[in-house]
């Protein structure tokens, strides 16, 4: 029987979750294998079924385990977590998870943008953009297709230069000395078409996270429009929310709809 500290203000469910987490880290509970049932865990820790369910629920939310109906609860590969609130790219996300990132350049070309994109990116009538399409890998697994549209005048010579450590944002900052001020992003559910499925090495119609992002400089100009396809079995988004504005209604003008970016 695993002993818990019952003389501490730390909740029992938290201690159970931490103990299971340690067993996953130590490979006692192995990737792809099931963990003990709720009844077995209840007997092991000598706690209520509600305590076990709360611990399991937290670990599921964390992305360490998943419940498969009729089969049990299994250890899964941790997902790459994108925490909304800070501007950072794929490479930085992977490094933060202890993964080895790499990038395959699929396309880089200068072109004239369509009128809708010109308006969206606040470009002049003669401005051109760089279309940069990349396939991102985490530990040699293809995880995301990123297509960036960048005003050519802001990144002269980028077609000839290599990206620093595969990071576009680091290239913006350290090669072109741009300061990324803010970004607006919409995330939607999508599915892999034939081309995306082939590139990401998944089945056609597999679920994807589709992100549309506009990134701005301090002067308000758009430096990047990003369209990203993330494997939903690898990525998840973390949103932190605080408080409520009592007595006020949310204005539609404060909500960014998908066709606005």
Cα separations in angstroms, 205 against 135, 195, 244: 19, 11, 38
The pLDDT value given to residue 91: 66
> What kind and span of H or E run contains 143?
strand 141-151
Q: What are phi and psi of 20, to 5 degrees?
A: -65, -40
Paired tokens of 181: 């001020």
Residue given tokens 């340690």 in the structure block: 22
Paired tokens of 74: 């299994």
**Residue 154 near residue 234 (C-beta atoms within 8 A):** no
Domain 12-75, classified CATH 1.10.10.10, yes or no: yes
Burial of 51 from C-beta contacts in 10 A (0-12 / 13-18 / 19+): buried
**Residue 238 near residue 83 (C-beta atoms within 8 A):** yes
Query: String of b and e for 80-109 (b: at least 16 CB within 10 Å)?
Result: bebeeeeebbbbbbbeeeebebbbeeeeee
Q: What is the mean pLDDT of residues 235-249?
A: 62
**Residue 185 near residue 177 (C-beta atoms within 8 A):** no
The whole-model pTM stands at: 0.64
> What kind and span of H or E run contains 55?
helix 49-62
pLDDT interval class at 247 (50, 70, 90):
low
What residue ranges do the domains of the chain occupy? Answer: 12-75, 80-240+255-259
The answer, yes or no, to whether residue 239 has pLDDT greater than 80, is: no
**Residue 64 near residue 21 (C-beta atoms within 8 A):** yes
pLDDT interval class at 241 (50, 70, 90):
low
Query: Do β-strands 72-75 and 65-68 pair in parallel, antiparallel, or remain unpaired?
Result: antiparallel
CATH architecture of the region 80-240+255-259: 3-Layer(aba) Sandwich (3.40)
The pLDDT value given to residue 255: 44
Paired tokens of 169: 């944002």
pLDDT, one tens digit per residue, over 118-147 is 999 999 889 999 999 999 998 888 999 999
The pLDDT value given to residue 234: 78
pLDDT, one tens digit per residue, over 3-25 is 788 888 888 999 999 999 889 88
């Amino acid at each position: 029987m695993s002993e818990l500290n019952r003389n501490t203000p730390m909740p029992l469910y938290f201690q159970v979750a931490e103990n299971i987490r340690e067993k996953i880290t130590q490979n006692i509970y192995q990737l792809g294998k099931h963990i003990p049932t709720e009844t077995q865990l209840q007997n092991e820790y000598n706690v209520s079924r509600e305590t076990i369910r709360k611990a399991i629920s937290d670990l599921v939310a964390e992305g360490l385990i998943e419940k498969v109906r009729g089969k049990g609860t299994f250890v899964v590969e941790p997902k790459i977590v994108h925490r909304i609130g800070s501007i950072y790219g794929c490479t930085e996300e992977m490094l933060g998870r202890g993964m080895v990132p790499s990038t395959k350049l699929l396309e880089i070309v200068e072109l004239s943008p369509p009128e809708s994109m010109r308006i969206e990116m606040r470009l002049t009538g003669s401005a051109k953009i760089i279309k940069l399409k990349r396939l991102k890998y985490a530990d040699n697994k293809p995880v995301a297709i990123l297509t960036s549209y960048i005003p050519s005048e802001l990144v002269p010579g980028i077609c000839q230069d290599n990206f620093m450590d595969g990071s576009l944002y680091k290239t913006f900052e350290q090669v072109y000395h741009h300061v990324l001020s803010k970004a607006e992003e919409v995330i939607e559910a999508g599915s892999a078409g034939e081309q995306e499925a082939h590139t990401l090495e998944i089945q056609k119609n597999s679920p994807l996270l589709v992100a549309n992002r506009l990134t701005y400089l301090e002067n308000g100009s758009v430096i990047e429009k990003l369209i990203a396809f993330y494997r939903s079995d690898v990525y998840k988004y973390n949103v932190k929310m605080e408080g409520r504005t009592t007595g006020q209604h949310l204005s539609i003008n404060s909500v960014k709809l998908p066709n606005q970016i």
